[in-house]
Amino acid sequence: MANQRNGSATRKRVIEVTKQLVNEKGFNNTSISDIIQASGVKKGNLYFHFPSKETLGIAILQEAADEFFRFLEASLQGNRPLEKLGSFFDAVLEKHRSAHFVGGCIFGNTALEMADSNPNIARLVEDVFRRWADMIANVLREAQRGGELDASLSPTRFAKHIVATIEGGIMMARLTKNEEDLKDCLDTLRAFLGM
Amino acid sequence: MANQRNGSATRKRVIEVTKQLVNEKGFNNTSISDIIQASGVKKGNLYFHFPSKETLGIAILQEAADEFFRFLEASLQGNRPLEKLGSFFDAVLEKHRSAHFVGGCIFGNTALEMADSNPNIARLVEDVFRRWADMIANVLREAQRGGELDASLSPTRFAKHIVATIEGGIMMARLTKNEEDLKDCLDTLRAFLGM
């Protein structure tokens, strides 16, 4: 029981440290010895929990995905569907502003780093974007049912467009370290939504 | 004269090979010995042309930028401003389709890899996005003057939005290796533009 608790604490610590390192240097550039050094976890113990760097990569993305979907659900707040979406846009801007536009989005970063080289990781990130777009599409459908949004618009396409624009906006703001580019992208989305 | 020609051929060869390697593995993951091996250029000769990996990184980005702006200008073809933009959207989709959605956009990839770690390279990529958005903004202004586009829309913001959406759409299509996500993003842009 005590061992299991320690095991789970080790797992958690390794995931936390690796997420930080991958955010700073990318997945390929983070070595097992970096993780050992930063976490203080012994090599044998690390391999016991994560037999390969890929399993560790998948674990940190799953953890990041859980965190992101909690954030998404918590920020989709409001009385009307478009108000919910507006709150989510505000929360995205605030999240990256408070990180000073450093680090960006772990899914976007991993997408560009691993899409061509690691199909398992690519599938996982693809799934995050898909689930994210599905949740946004549901809000858009709600807005259409309530007459808040033009019924001719395709919720599926527009939801994908929102995800793509946010990812691109985060990328641009990360270069300038300034909120303007991301804010402009979000404001344009608001304009299209008639918000 | 012959030496100068050889020097320039070497430079060109190194840039070409490095661009390919960076596209496949990223900048940080491409080592000087990878470049030496793939190009067949001797180490001393390589350092004569590019004293550091950063100068080489800047050279390949400048070369890629020249190429991209030639592509952008060549694809903005049409009688009306929005027709020009539509041709550019078609050309973007075709470019990535013919690459089977492998490699993505060198500027987006470099943005996410280097934005936090190398300010000189970040400035260069930022400048590419800025020039790209400026050219799109000019086409949008032309469309507004000709009455083709709603005058209340901000050309500067919308141009940035277009760049961000294309970058995000390329990222998503690179994960799925399928044109649908990028096509959906471009079609949504067309809808907003009343095309």
pLDDT at A5: 59
Residue A59 predicted with pLDDT over 90 = yes
pLDDT at A6: 67
Residues of chain B neighbouring A118 (CB-CB closer than 8 A): none
d(CA B195, CA B175): 28
Query: Between vectors from CA B21 to CA B182 and to CA B121, what angle results, nearest 5°?
Result: 75
Chain A to chain B Cβ contacts (< 8 Å): 146
Q: B164 and A174 in contact by Cβ < 8 A? A: no
Pick the residue with more confidence: A20 or A2? Answer: A20
How confident is the model over A42-54, as pLDDT tens digits?
999 999 999 999 9
Residue A108 predicted with pLDDT over 60 = yes
d(CA B107, CA B123): 11
pLDDT at B3: 55
The structure's pTM equals 0.93
ipTM: 0.92
What stretches in chain B show pLDDT beneath 50? 1-2
DSSP B65-132: HHHHHHHHHHH--SSSHHHHHHHHHHHHHHHHHHTTT-S--HHHHHHHHHTTT-HHHHHHHHHHHHHH
Taking a contact as any Cβ pair under 8 Å apart, which residues of chain A between 43 and 62 contact chain B? none
pLDDT range class, residue A7, cuts 50, 70, 90: confident
Closest among A145, A113, A111, A149 to A130, alpha carbons compared: A111
Domains of chain B: 1-51 (1.10.10.60), 61-192 (1.10.357.10)
How confident is the model over A11-33, as a mean pLDDT?
90
Q: Distance, in angstroms, between A30 CA and closest chain B CA?
A: 11
Residue A1 predicted with pLDDT over 50 = no
Backbone angles phi, psi at B148, to 5 degrees: -80, -20
Closest alpha carbon within chain B to A194: B192
Residues of chain B neighbouring A116 (CB-CB closer than 8 A): 24, 102-104, 174
Q: Is the minimum CB–CB distance between B131 and chain A shorter than 8 Å?
A: no
- Which among B29, B112, B174 has CB closest to A109? B112
d(CA A174, CA A181): 9
Closest alpha carbon within chain B to A170: B164
Residues of chain A neighbouring B165 (CB-CB closer than 8 A): 161, 164-165, 168, 185
Structure tokens, A167: 């990812």
- Which among A164, A176, A188 has CB closest to B126? A176
How large a percentage of chain A has pLDDT more than 90?
85
How confident is the model over A119-133, as pLDDT tens digits?
999 999 999 999 999
Q: A164 and B168 in contact by Cβ < 8 A? A: yes
- Measured over the CA atoms of residue A48, residue A53, residue A55 and residue A56, the dihedral's sign is positive
Taking a contact as any Cβ pair under 8 Å apart, which residues of chain A between 67 and 126 contact chain B? 102-104, 108-109, 111-113, 115-117, 122, 125-126
Residues across chain B = 195
Residues of chain A neighbouring B34 (CB-CB closer than 8 A): none
Closest among A133, A131, A135, A121 to A61, alpha carbons compared: A121
Structure tokens, B67: 């190429």
Residue A68 predicted with pLDDT over 70 = yes
How large a percentage of chain A has pLDDT more than 70?
97
Residue A183 predicted with pLDDT over 80 = yes
pLDDT at A2: 47
How large a percentage of chain B has pLDDT more than 90?
85
